[in-house]
Amino acid sequence: MADRLNGYRILILESREEAQFSRLLTEQGADVLQCPMFTIHDAPDPAPIEAWIKRFIAKPCDDMVLMTGEGLRRLMKVVRRIGVEPAFVAALGSARKFTRGPKPGKALREIGLEPQMTTEKPTSEGIAEMLSRLDLRGRRVGLQLYPDKDHSVLIGAIKAQGVSEVDTVLPYAYDAQAADANIVTAIDEMAEGRIDAIALTNLGQVRRLVEVARARGCEDRLRQGLGQTPIASVGPAVSDELKAQGLRTDIYPADDAFFMRPLISAMAAALAKHPPRAVARSI
């Protein structure tokens, strides 16, 4: 099944899993244009993360909510640096673990653990909905956050269930400005008709595209480019955000399989109906 995307130029806007996604597309013959949306750094001040880890070990939370795989991996980096990995993994193993989509579950399995529940919708709202079906009265809940998001609604929803404590940790930070120039270049590539499809794998990518385009005065050019470029969405959260921004979804994984490989298969099937734009331009 290799070379299904031979000759097609695919724009990806990943960061955490950009290398893996690019490799999978390249294996299918695609010419991949990579555009990181932001740079990820460790939290600038490690002290609050270290203190949270020590609290968790000394008195494990009853429940732990993991919002991102990146968050757990960054936590484990600090855990290993301060030399408490066995104690932390044991404490985490004793808690009920809830994950926002499949990526945190994958990170858990890397340390030999499994989530008890995973959201059907990989969003904060999905987490709140899932937890609302549980009795959390009197329980201590750990909550791993991610940057550039107001989590007050989720935290409020958890507290409203009568928990004794919500103990939050934010183990990494984004440097968004570093990628703005790359995003503008990607917008130009779409507007000039040099992209066969854009693949979107999280809703933050949609928001960043629109935010940067507005800030740089090229939103019309972005919408022109997206208007003539097939848009591939990995799942419902991305498609909902596209709709909220007045955009559409052209390509979607079959059988509700919201992962990279099914997305790539859907792209190959959809794009096979049309020649690559590089070929079309040469005719």
The C-alpha atoms of residue 203 and residue 240 are separated, in whole angstroms, by: 8
The C-alpha atoms of residue 52 and residue 43 are separated, in whole angstroms, by: 13
**Residue of 9, 11, 16 lying closest to 34 (CA atoms):** 11
Q: What is the pLDDT of residue 136?
A: 97
The residue that leads in pLDDT, 55 or 273, is 55
User: Of the ranges 4-18, 98-112, 165-179, which is most confident?
Assistant: 98-112
Q: What is the pLDDT of residue 11?
A: 95
Q: What is the pLDDT of residue 281?
A: 42
For the cut 70, the answer to whether the pLDDT of residue 93 exceeds it is yes
For the cut 70, the answer to whether the pLDDT of residue 150 exceeds it is yes
In this prediction the pTM is: 0.66
Burial of 177 (0-12, 13-18, 19+ CB in 10 A): exposed
For the cut 90, the answer to whether the pLDDT of residue 204 exceeds it is no
Q: Give tens-digit pLDDT for 129-148.
A: 999 999 999 999 999 999 87
Q: What are phi and psi of 276, to 5 degrees?
A: -55, 145
Q: What is the pLDDT of residue 2?
A: 63
At which residue do the structure tokens 């609050």 appear? 48
Mean pLDDT for the stretch of residues 205-233 = 95
Lowest mean pLDDT among 53-57, 169-173, 257-261: 257-261
Angle 49-71-91 from CA coordinates, rounded to 5°? 65
Segments in the chain forming alpha helices (H): 18-27, 47-58, 69-81, 85-94, 102-110, 124-132, 152-159, 180-191, 203-215, 219-227, 236-244, 260-271, 277-282
- Domains of the chain in sequence order: 9-38+176-282 (3.40.50.10090), 41-174 (3.40.50.10090)
The C-alpha atoms of residue 136 and residue 160 are separated, in whole angstroms, by: 10
Q: What is the DSSP letter of 255?
A: G
For the cut 70, the answer to whether the pLDDT of residue 280 exceeds it is no
Can you give the C-alpha Rg of the chain in angstroms?
20
| Residue 31 near residue 10 (C-beta atoms within 8 A) | yes
Lowest mean pLDDT among 30-39, 69-78, 144-153, 253-262: 253-262
For the cut 60, the answer to whether the pLDDT of residue 283 exceeds it is no
Strand 140-144 relative to strand 63-66, pairing: parallel
- pLDDT band (50, 70, 90) for residue 254: confident
For the cut 60, the answer to whether the pLDDT of residue 282 exceeds it is no
